[in-house]
Amino acid sequence: MVNEDGKIVVANPIAEQVFGYGKNGLTDLSLEQLLPERYRGKHVNFRKGFNAHPEPRRMGFGRDLLALKKDGQEFPVEISLSHSEVQGKLLVMAFISDISERKKSEEALKKSEEQLIVYAAELEKKVHSRTEALNKTIEKLEKEIFERKRAEAEASKALEKEREFNDLKTKFVAIASHEFRTPLSTILSSVVLVEQYKERGDLDKISKHTSRVRSSVEHLTAILNDFLLLGKLDECKIIVTCEPVDIDTLLQDIIEEIKPSLKEGQHIELDLKSTKKQLITDARIVRNIFFNLLSNASKYSDQHKPIYLKVKEKDELLMMTVKDEGIGIPPEDHKHLFERFFRAGNVSTIQGTGLGLNIVKRYVELLFGSITFESQPGGSVFTVSLPFNCAPI
């Protein structure tokens, strides 16, 4: 408690203890003695101001107040002021709290908050750089996975190709040895017989056997040609030459050419209904397509069975149908029919390599056409549709 002149009138024991004075040690001291020297002058004015208009309030609101202990040590305080008048004299009461501990913990809190912010910033930086590193690793891994998958796909493709090739090789060896054996043994037996007939001078028999030798050799040549052709088709070595071709002449030529190989009593009935008379196409390829289809029609039909070759226009295409009344193709074999070396289950002893239809299909595609078939026991119909002009636009 301080009088108007700023002298301490009375202080409680806690105040004496806080400021480091002994009992009654504060009494009669000037209040300014409890302040660091640098604040004293200002404080005198401040005290006078308060005395002029005394009212209870807190001191130094919003800023830190410092007080001075007897031993010269400064410490933070919070002060509330109040006043009363005793016998006409103003007495000012100052309630002083030592807030050193609070300040310390506030400071510590602030420090740790600041540290926390620094840590957080560092952490964020670390997370950022780790994320970047991780993203780079992921990118690298993704690239590696992609490369590996591509390599795997290539390897399995190569493996698949090799497997296919081995499969074809096996089929080729089987078919070739089977298909070559018959004509070769025919040739051998005919040669032996020719020698015997030569001794007897039987010219008729000799001529019969020489023609058997010739047809066997032709058959072998045809098989070999098919094998060679397959290779050429695989390597895309077939050159398509599109030229104007008279449809009727082309078909008549094919029929004439195939006539000698038809079975006894077989004949080809041509039914040509096309207003357009010309095709722009590769005549050699068309000939091979129909030679194959017509030979099959003959081969898989009995003697005396007719073969029909119908030709008409449909939707800007020339549709050509080869129909026979032969053994037909079992339904379960339909889906494999154009596969290389495939032969249906009902061929029994009829000779063949299973290459013709595969070649036909690829030939048709070379001319930008298509091929379909329908078949059941009792007959088959193969339809080839070709554009009137096979030259690419």
Residues in the site for ligand ADP, rule: CB under 6 A? Answer: 296-297, 300, 324, 326-329, 337, 342-344, 347, 352-358, 380
In terms of CB distance, is 115 or 351 closer to ligand ADP?
351
Write down the least CB distance from residue 164 to ligand ADP, Å. 18
Write down the least CB distance from residue 349 to ligand ADP, Å. 12
How far apart are alpha carbons 216 and 184 in whole angstroms? 7
How far apart are alpha carbons 180 and 227 in whole angstroms? 13
Write down the least CB distance from residue 324 to ligand ADP, Å. 5
What pairing do the DSSP bridges indicate for beta strands 267-273 and 306-314? parallel
In terms of CB distance, is 209 or 299 closer to ligand ADP?
299
In terms of CB distance, is 281 or 358 closer to ligand ADP?
358
Taking phi first (over 0 means left), then psi (-120 to 50 degrees means alpha), and beta for anything else, what does residue 12 get? beta
Provide the edge-to-edge strand list for the sheet that holds 317-324.
Answer: 267-273, 306-314, 317-324, 379-387, 370-376
- The residue number whose beta carbon is nearest to ligand ADP equals 352
Write down the least CB distance from residue 148 to ligand ADP, Å. 41
Rg (the chain; Cα; Å):
58
Query: Residue 63, SS3?
Result: coil
Write down the least CB distance from residue 237 to ligand ADP, Å. 21
Write down the least CB distance from residue 366 to ligand ADP, Å. 17
Using an 8 Å Cβ cutoff, are 313 and 276 in contact? Answer: yes
In terms of CB distance, is 79 or 176 closer to ligand ADP?
176
Q: Could you tell me which residues are beta bridge partners of residue 269?
A: 308
In terms of CB distance, is 101 or 332 closer to ligand ADP?
332
Residue among 225, 194, 197 nearest 211 (CA):
194
In terms of CB distance, is 369 or 379 closer to ligand ADP?
379
Q: What is the largest CA-CA distance in the chain?
A: 178
